[in-house]
Amino acid sequence: MTHWGSYTATVTGNRITAITGHRDDPDPSELLGNIASTVTHRSRVTKPSFRRGWLENGPGPADRRGSEEFVELEWDEALDLLAAEIDRVRTDHGNKAIYAGSYGWASAGRFHHAQSQLHRFLKQAGGYVAGVNSYSTGCSEVIFPHLLGNTFELYRKHTHWQQLADNTDLIVAFGGIPTKNMAVVPGGITVHNARPGIAEVVAAGTRIVAVTPIKPDLKGAESADSQVEWWPIVPATDTAMMLALAHTLIVENLVDEGFIATYTDGYDEFAHDVLGLSTGAPRTAEWAESITGFPADKIRELARNMAAGRTFITVGWSLQRSKYGEQPMWAALNLACLLGHIGLPGGGFGHGYGSMGDVGAGRGMTPLPAFPQGPNPIDDFIPVARVSDMLLNPGGEFEYNGEIRRYPDVKMVYWAGGNPFHHHQDLDRLERAFSAVDTVVVHEPYWTSSAKHADIVLPCTLSVEREDIGGSRQDSHVIAMHALLSPVGEARDDFAIFTDLADRLGFAQQFTEGLSPREWLEKMYSTWAVEVGGSQPTELPNFETFWQDGDVRVPGADSARDHVMFGQFRADPVAHRLPTPSGLIQISSPVVASFGYDDCPGHPTWLEPEEWLGSPLAQKFPLHLIADQPAGRLHSQLDMGEISMAHKVSGRERMRMHPDNAKERGITDGDVVRVFNDKGECLAGVQVTETIRRDVVQLPTGAWFDPQILDGRRICAHGNPNVLTTDQGTSRLAQGCSGAHALVQVCLLGVALPQVQAFEPPVIVSRKRD
Ligand SMILES: Nc1nc2c(c(=O)[nH]1)N[C@H]1C(S)=C(S)[C@@H](COP(=O)(O)OP(=O)(O)OC[C@H]3O[C@@H](n4cnc5c(=O)[nH]c(N)nc54)[C@H](O)[C@@H]3O)O[C@H]1N2
Ligand SMILES: Nc1nc2c(c(=O)[nH]1)N[C@H]1C(S)=C(S)[C@@H](COP(=O)(O)OP(=O)(O)OC[C@H]3O[C@@H](n4cnc5c(=O)[nH]c(N)nc54)[C@H](O)[C@@H]3O)O[C@H]1N2
Ligand SMILES: [Mo]
């Protein structure tokens, strides 16, 4: 199992020769094609490796991280040194000096999940500073609890595609419903039902309005182009459009007043602002026209259409990954409240259709086999995307969700299963942040840029090199993940590494509980079988049979197919009171208002970001870059794989550009260009296409960071857009990642094309003996 699907592999010798999707999967992902070619790639880490300066001079701040050579050591010595360093840091500075947020997706598999292993280990070692929330939904995880109280339904029990097909007249999708994203689920997915689901929706005659600067790639809807309308909005202006839609609903008496009165709180304050009663600036369709790029008539007509039939509004996760990303989340919810279809079959509000493969799967939530974690003795945390801020401002204050907190003084950064030099914003700044600490430890199968920026790199196995149990929150199957290959080089499982470290620190028995990995799998499976089997544990096969069969269907996996989101609340808002201050949906929030944040006031509002096409900065950098998820891989994983490479242009990440913008710059399809702004520069290979709005360019994330000097400037030669993005929280409320957008300029390369070096291992030298 992978995050992008379950499969069967044919192995000949120690090589994978064929991979086919799971027999029950109607739509296996092409990303499976990245696996076979990457297992033995030269970028694998094969031995424990230490940055030479760290080994020779000991721990301490170092700006050579990322450019220095490495020395390989034997495992025993490597683990002795690392255990001693962990002990030094916790003894001299306390466990608050260890940051192990370790954000990242690692691999599928419930036992060998790298973060779970790291967190269990460090909890038993005295604790660590954690990261909270995610890059994916940094705003909605913080704002929606204020508005809906319980967000369980929003994330875990969404309206099924079939229900939309049966009931919905109009779907308005802010962010589109990008098919490219729907192969993926954290932990894996066995039955990809999004494409067939969309086909059903379209076959039923439902109209889909996809509001996005990039033309939707809705697979399953090819036969019905006319039903899927592309509304190419100016990026980052969705809130303005939503407020204008609300304005039309209010002034044309299309608001469902019964719904507002019974199920919501704070409408008057919101409506007052939308009508401009105290500001003198009503949010009319005309007002929104100049911001969003849509004619006022069209906006008004959409509002009327929304009120005329059963309407489902979905807002993609991407809209929150930019400055003031809380606003479109909240505004979209309010719009759904005004229409009053929340809690009716196929109506209301959804979040993330097209962001993840299981949204719309209707699977309910069953428990999963789990590796126990235990409590963290340290309660310091940061919102994940504030990592550079923390490392650069030890002891500094930051605000978050109504609190004022302080950054801990971190001396050791420990990462297992993530790639911050892919995922974080403003990579130059991240490099400065990493140089400030004493020691950086990374567990990695590959020489990623993050591994190259570490002091201690320990080589890890891939999931094809070990046994595990695969499962995810809403999947139909639990998968027996058999080991397919023997590990490359001296790679070891994260579990084995932590066991030996725990042994050196005196708590091996507590860490392993005396169990081998296979015994852990048996225990996790059996515990789970009893938990979901309940009174009928015989429903599920025993471990041996499960292991032999290769998978098992999860009991009750289809239980939520007919679930109507917020249906119970609608039926009885007293008995099913929401856990919000009013018990109702907060159209305005006195709690959020009480925080006094100008960057996230008490109701949604249009806040002009620094980087959008209407801002002064656009004079200098006139193109709006969208740095979204890559179609050909998961994030940065297996970037050298066959499918990922096939999506590149001249070996660089592919950037989509409108023909007018290309012509203005003398750029033709296939050119490699410079993409730059005040923060940095990268190269990209251009695809000229009308499937993108004019003045918008799309350069997905995940090309391995490849810093090189070109013409005296430091650039990424491979196309990682995070050299261009701003490292700023979305607001003081959520402090989410705002990396999806940046203003840039693009020009022809003008010099010889430098070679991509991202996949080359660092220089390995032998140890200096004294
Ligand atoms: N500009 C911009 N930036 C973004 C985004 C954006 O939209 N725009 N999106 C953000 C989002 S939503 C996300 S989720 C992040 C993703 O960022 P990450 O989750 O950090 O990206 P991955 O490439 O999945 O990194 C996982 C790493 O784990 C390693 N790994 C795999 N298996 C194992 C294992 O068993 N053990 C160990 N130790 N390591 C393993 C892989 O080799 C890989 O390097 O990026 C974020 N960054
Ligand atoms: N193939 C593949 N699938 C993935 C992933 C991957 O790496 N590869 N990553 C997974 C992860 S971790 C996550 S969190 C999800 C993320 O899911 P999303 O956040 O939904 O995905 P993105 O690709 O960042 O953005 C989706 C689309 O939003 C639109 N968009 C961007 N900015 C704006 C805007 O300002 N306004 C409007 N209206 N639309 C805008 C663009 O069309 C863009 O392609 O994807 C998951 N799926
Ligand atoms: Mo994500």
- Judging by DSSP bridges, how do beta strands 681-688 and 654-657 pair with one another? parallel
pLDDT score for 7: 97
Within-domain flag for 112: yes
Tell me if 726 CB under 6 Å of ligand 1: no
| Same domain flag for 485 and 537 | yes
Within-domain flag for 680: yes
State how far the Cα of 351 lies from the Cα of 11, in Å rounded to an integer.
40
| Same domain flag for 94 and 13 | no
Please spell the DSSP secondary structure of 5-33, one letter per residue: B-EEEEEETTEEEEEEE-TT-SS--GGGG
Per-residue pLDDT band at 533 (split at 50, 70, 90): confident
Q: Which of 371, 405, 349, 327 is nearest to 592 (CA)?
A: 327
Give residue-wise pLDDT tens across range 397-426: 999 999 999 999 999 999 999 999 999 999
Q: What's the average model confidence in pLDDT over 574-588?
A: 97
Within-domain flag for 478: yes
CB atoms within 10 A of CB 110: 26
Atom of ligand 1 nearest to the CA of 114: 36
| Same domain flag for 352 and 422 | no
Within-domain flag for 577: no
Catalytic residue positions, numbered: 103, 105
Tell me if 212 CB under 6 Å of ligand 1: no
| Same domain flag for 246 and 351 | yes
Mutate to test the pocket of ligand 2, among 32, 629, 634, 654 (most ligand atoms within 8 A of CB): 629
- In Å, how far are 164, 360, 638 from 31, measured between CA atoms? 28, 21, 10
CB atoms within 5 A of ion ligand 3 belong to: 136
Give residue-wise pLDDT tens across range 639-649: 999 999 999 99
Note whether 424 and 450 are within 8 A (CB). Answer: no
Under DSSP, the state recorded for 185 is -
pLDDT score for 536: 60
Per-residue pLDDT band at 171 (split at 50, 70, 90): very high
| Same domain flag for 28 and 55 | no
Atom of ligand 1 nearest to the CA of 721: 1
Tell me if 214 CB under 6 Å of ligand 2: yes
Measure 82 CA to ligand 2 centroid, in angstroms: 38
pLDDT at 742 over 90: yes
pLDDT score for 441: 98
| Same domain flag for 374 and 489 | yes
Enter the tokens of residue 234: 């100016």
Give residue-wise pLDDT tens across range 452-468: 999 999 999 999 999 99
Measure 314 CA to ligand 2 centroid, in angstroms: 13
pLDDT score for 398: 98
Give residue-wise pLDDT tens across range 677-709: 999 999 999 999 999 999 999 999 999 999 999
CATH number of 103's domain: 3.40.50.740
Measure 252 CA to ligand 1 centroid, in angstroms: 47
Q: What's the average model confidence in pLDDT over 163-180?
A: 96
Measure 215 CA to ligand 2 centroid, in angstroms: 13
Tell me if 114 CB under 6 Å of ligand 1: yes
Within-domain flag for 78: yes
Within-domain flag for 624: yes
Atom of ligand 2 nearest to the CA of 741: 32
Measure 107 CA to ligand 1 centroid, in angstroms: 10
- Beta-carbon contacts of 39 under 8 Å, excluding residues fewer than 6 positions away, are 16, 462, 464, 465, 485, 488
Q: What angle do CA 272, 273, 276 make, to 5 degrees?
A: 90
Across the chain, mean pLDDT equals 95
| Same domain flag for 312 and 411 | no
pLDDT at 67 over 60: yes
State how far the Cα of 379 lies from the Cα of 403, in Å rounded to an integer.
14
pLDDT score for 557: 76
Measure 104 CA to ligand 1 centroid, in angstroms: 4
pTM of the predicted model as reported, rounded to 2 decimal places: 0.97
- Residue with the smallest CA separation from ligand 1 atom 45 is 423
Per-residue pLDDT band at 660 (split at 50, 70, 90): very high
State how far the Cα of 266 lies from the Cα of 644, in Å rounded to an integer.
48
CATH number of 735's domain: 2.40.40.20
Note whether 91 and 120 are within 8 A (CB). Answer: no
pLDDT score for 346: 96
Domain that holds residue 54: 39-135+368-553
Tell me if 697 CB under 6 Å of ligand 2: no
| Same domain flag for 239 and 288 | yes
| Same domain flag for 312 and 284 | yes
Within-domain flag for 141: no
Mutate to test the pocket of ligand 1, among 4, 134, 419 (most ligand atoms within 8 A of CB): 419
Work out the widest C-alpha separation in the chain, in whole angstroms.
84
State how far the Cα of 316 lies from the Cα of 448, in Å rounded to an integer.
29
Tell me if 449 CB under 6 Å of ligand 1: no
| Same domain flag for 513 and 545 | yes
Give residue-wise pLDDT tens across range 362-377: 777 678 888 999 999 9
Within-domain flag for 592: no
Mutate to test the pocket of ligand 1, among 136, 355, 384, 444 (most ligand atoms within 8 A of CB): 444
Enter the tokens of residue 61: 């701040």
Give residue-wise pLDDT tens across range 204-215: 999 999 999 999
pLDDT score for 534: 66
Tell me if 634 CB under 6 Å of ligand 1: yes
Give residue-wise pLDDT tens across range 237-282: 999 999 999 999 999 999 999 999 999 999 999 999 999 998 999 9
Taking the CA of 634 as reference, the closest ligand is: 2
Tell me if 238 CB under 6 Å of ligand 2: yes
State how far the Cα of 708 lies from the Cα of 758, in Å rounded to an integer.
10
Taking the CA of 328 as reference, the closest ligand is: 2
pLDDT score for 229: 93
| Same domain flag for 407 and 482 | yes
- Sole residue written with tokens 């994940």: 384
| Same domain flag for 27 and 10 | yes
Q: 523, 553, 583: which is the final residue of a domain?
A: 553
pLDDT at 218 over 90: no
Q: Write out the E strands in 22-140.
A: 49-51, 70-72, 98-99, 130-132
Note whether 310 and 346 are within 8 A (CB). Answer: yes
> Structural domain tally of the chain?
4
pLDDT score for 535: 58
pLDDT at 563 over 80: yes
Q: What's the average model confidence in pLDDT over 218-237?
A: 85
- Judging by DSSP bridges, how do beta strands 403-406 and 397-400 pair with one another? antiparallel
